[in-house]
Amino acid sequence: MKSVLVTGASGGLGTRVVQELHHDGYRVIATVGSEKNRTLFDQLPNVQSHVVDLLDSADVTNFISRLNQESIHAAALLVGGFTMGGFQDTNVADLDSMYRINFLTAFNLVKPLLSLFEAQGGGQFIFIGARPALVAEAGKNMIAYSLSKALIFELANLVNAYGKEKGISATVIVPGTIDTPTNRQAMPDADPSKWITPETISETITFVLSDTGRQLDEPVLKMYNQP
Ligand SMILES: NC(=O)c1ccc[n+]([C@@H]2O[C@H](COP(=O)([O-])OP(=O)(O)OC[C@H]3O[C@@H](n4cnc5c(N)ncnc54)[C@H](OP(=O)(O)O)[C@@H]3O)[C@@H](O)[C@H]2O)c1
């Protein structure tokens, strides 16, 4: 049975990703940020949940070492956060907080997982980017968010370069607006039928992990809103 590590498993996207991977026969190692969410997947066999502060590199190292060298085939690093703000509304604290939640939570796991993947002869990373990091017109009113997500694309490039002959690869999925309860609440006047569903993103992730999907070169998969 193949194992996939999923971070942000209690989030609007993560909950569905865990269910989809479980349904497809993967063993899932899920991380959540809060104790209250540890039991979220208790009904699903082959899903184990851990509370890990991914901003704390010591906590991350401790978590990986607790896994006892078991093999992990892939990691879907889903943790992220959002803030609005154009240039005049963005300060160093905003930049720092977006950098930490969107980049550092991934980077802190990339380091130990690269060692693990190298030792076991390969592995896949799945990162979540964002359209405003690629489309400046969309990002100009969310500066800290866009800059922090831009780092995810470069992180994937660097992982792909490093992992080329080691069987290690990175995919970036770039969602538009995800149809989550939080977004529905935050944008009551928007039309959610134009958004991308967690189901569609989860199915894309299982495709990327499949024998066919693994053959894609440096994929950046844009899953934008319907016009
Ligand atoms: N929502 C959108 O429309 C949208 C659009 C484009 C891209 N994205 C990206 O898609 C991804 C998933 O978004 P989402 O809406 O599902 O996010 P979400 O609902 O806000 O979930 C965030 C997750 O991150 C966890 N988390 C937060 N801080 C953490 C920390 N320090 N250590 C460990 N875990 C931590 C939370 O855990 P607890 O709740 O258990 O604390 C939760 O599971 C993110 O990368 C986001 O930037 C989202």
Task: List, run by run, the mean pLDDT of 10-residue segments along the chain (227 residues).
Answer: 97 98 97 98 97 97 85 96 98 98 98 95 98 98 98 98 97 98 97 98 98 97 97
How many Å lie between the centroid of ligand 1 and the Cα of residue 95?
17
Give the separation between CA 85 and CA 88, rounded to whole angstroms.
8
Instruction: Tell me which H or E stretch contains 118.
Output: helix 105-120
Q: Are 52 and 31 in contact (CB under 8 A)?
A: yes
How many Å lie between the centroid of ligand 1 and the Cα of residue 81?
6
Check residue 69 and give its pLDDT. Answer: 67
How many Å lie between the centroid of ligand 1 and the Cα of residue 177?
13
Q: Hey, how many other C-beta atoms are within 10 angstroms of the C-beta on 143?
A: 21
CATH numeric code, 3-217:
3.40.50.720
Check residue 172 and give its pLDDT. Answer: 99
Check residue 10 and give its pLDDT. Answer: 98
Smallest Cα–Cα separation from 79: which of 98, 61, 65? 98
Q: How many CA atoms lie within 13 A of 105 on its CB side?
A: 26
Q: Is 33 in the pocket of ligand 1 (CB under 6 A)?
A: yes
Nearest CA owner, ligand 1 atom 48: 178
Give the separation between CA 144 and CA 218, rounded to whole angstroms.
25
Q: 64 phi and psi, to 5 degrees?
A: -65, -40
Q: Is 109 in the pocket of ligand 1 (CB under 6 A)?
A: no
Check residue 70 and give its pLDDT. Answer: 76
Give the separation between CA 220 and CA 143, rounded to whole angstroms.
21
How many Å lie between the centroid of ligand 1 and the Cα of residue 165?
31
Q: Are 204 and 223 in contact (CB under 8 A)?
A: yes
Check residue 48 and give its pLDDT. Answer: 96
Check residue 2 and give its pLDDT. Answer: 95
pTM value is 0.98
Angle at 21 between CA 11 and CA 194, to 5 degrees: 55
